[in-house]
């Protein structure tokens, strides 16, 4: 292996180790930087890694797979396998290498072997989901993720991924259910309310739109700087106010009020942002509001 830079341009061994340790603690996804420092340490100073040696090999292996550096990843796996021949963590790295090479059948066999030894191995189950997604086997990915969540219900990222998979299948009711679970576990997260509202809005229909408007409003209440939620509240209220299915005049007036308030908030934020990409939004908002006023008059 050849290092990317000459040693003159690299930090000291101690500085490199400290940076890698910091990135591990922060679970930072700066794979290219990790590979650069890691290859420098592994190639030039393998005997100076101390107690952190195997953590560094594992960290660099994952980063190398991220960046497509299969040779470096293979070298790390070989070193780890010699030190820990029965380790399930090393087996998982071997499976990830097969994934990077698009050898999915072999990767799946590796993960199945891990799960036979440890049925509750969360990372192996997640890797199986990744394999199914890579092969566009969405229904299999959904089944595997549901199995995973039966054991690890507190994994918020898994619920969000499951919701995305349901959306890709246009199963909006189940996608919404995933965010209902997330909102129950963390009712103060404005992004959960926003995403739930977006799913209900996409689902369509008067009832779903009313739910969407309410959850967009809750997202704004939790975070007044959530522009997507503000815009969602404006559009949902506008559609409800102008819909022929909204026969209740009081409901129409309320939705016009909500839309006007959201438009006012957006105008205020666009004005202060002074961003070029927002300039074209105001005429659209004004046109929508004019249309709503006409609807209200009728």
Alpha-carbon gap, residue 121 to 138, rounded angstroms: 21
Does residue 246 lie within any of the structural domains?
yes
pLDDT in tens, 215-259: 999 999 999 999 999 999 999 999 998 876 655 678 888 898 999
Alpha-carbon gap, residue 234 to 110, rounded angstroms: 50
Q: What is the pLDDT of residue 247?
A: 55
Percentage of the chain with pLDDT > 70?
86
Does residue 180 lie within any of the structural domains?
no
Is residue 298 very low, low, confident or very high in pLDDT (cuts 50, 70, 90)?
very low
Does residue 284 lie within any of the structural domains?
yes
The encoded tokens of residue 277 equal 């990409």
Q: What is the pTM of this model?
A: 0.80
Does residue 239 lie within any of the structural domains?
yes
* Nearest partner of 213 among 175, 250, 256, 184, judged by Cα: 256
* Domain ranges, residue 297: 188-298
Residue 293 has pLDDT above 80, yes or no: no
Tell me which DSSP letter residue 5 carries: S
The encoded tokens of residue 8 equal 């003159």
Does residue 61 lie within any of the structural domains?
no
- Please give the tally of structural domains in the chain: 1
Q: What is the pLDDT of residue 297?
A: 44
Residue 271 has pLDDT above 80, yes or no: no
State the chain's mean pLDDT as an integer.
Answer: 87
Does residue 19 lie within any of the structural domains?
no
Alpha-carbon gap, residue 281 to 276, rounded angstroms: 10
Does residue 120 lie within any of the structural domains?
no
Q: Are 73 and 64 in contact (CB under 8 A)?
A: yes
Q: What is the pLDDT of residue 12?
A: 86
- Which residue is listed with tokens 């290219």? 32
Using CA atoms of 37, 43, 48, 50 in order, give the dihedral in degrees to the nearest 10: 80
Count the Cβ atoms, other than its own, within 10 Å of residue 259.
Answer: 25
Q: What is the pLDDT of residue 9?
A: 66
Q: What is the pLDDT of residue 51?
A: 85
Residues 6+ apart with CB under 8 A from 85: none
pLDDT in tens, 65-76: 999 999 999 999
- Which residue is listed with tokens 């309310």? 193
Q: What is the pLDDT of residue 2?
A: 44
Does residue 280 lie within any of the structural domains?
yes
């Amino acid at each position: 292996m050849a290092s990317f830079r000459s040693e003159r341009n690299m930090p000291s061994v101690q500085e490199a180790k400290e940076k890698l340790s910091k990135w591990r603690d922060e679970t930072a996804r700066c794979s290219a930087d990790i590979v650069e420092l890691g290859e420098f340490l592994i190639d030039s100073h393998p005997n100076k890694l101390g107690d952190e040696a195997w953590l560094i090999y594992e960290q660099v292996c994952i980063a190398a797979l991220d960046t497509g550096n299969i040779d470096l990843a293979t070298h790390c796996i070989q070193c780890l396998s010699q030190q820990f021949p029965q380790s399930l963590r090393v087996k998982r790295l071997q499976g990830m290498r097969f994934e990077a090479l698009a050898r999915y059948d072999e990767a799946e066999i590796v993960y199945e072997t891990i799960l036979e030894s440890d049925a509750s191995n969360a990372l192996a189950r997640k890797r199986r989901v990744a394999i199914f997604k890579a092969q566009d086997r969405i229904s299999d990915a959904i089944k595997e993720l549901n199995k995973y969540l039966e054991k690890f219900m507190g994994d918020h990222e898994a619920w969000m991924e499951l919701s995305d998979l349901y959306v890709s299948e246009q199963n909006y009711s189940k996608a919404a259910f995933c965010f209902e679970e997330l909102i129950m576990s963390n009712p103060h997260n404005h992004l959960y309310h926003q995403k739930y509202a977006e799913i209900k809005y996409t689902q369509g229909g008067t009832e779903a739109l009313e739910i969407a408007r309410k959850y967009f409003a809750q997202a704004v209440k939790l975070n007044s700087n959530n522009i997507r939620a503000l815009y969602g509240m404006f559009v949902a209220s506008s559609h409800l106010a102008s819909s022929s299915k909204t026969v209740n005049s009081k409901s129409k007036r309320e939705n016009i009020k909500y839309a006007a308030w959201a438009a006012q908030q957006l105008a205020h934020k666009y004005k202060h942002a002074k961003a070029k990409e927002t300039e074209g939004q105001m005429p659209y908002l004004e046109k929508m509001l004019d249309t709503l006023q006409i609807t209200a008059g009728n």
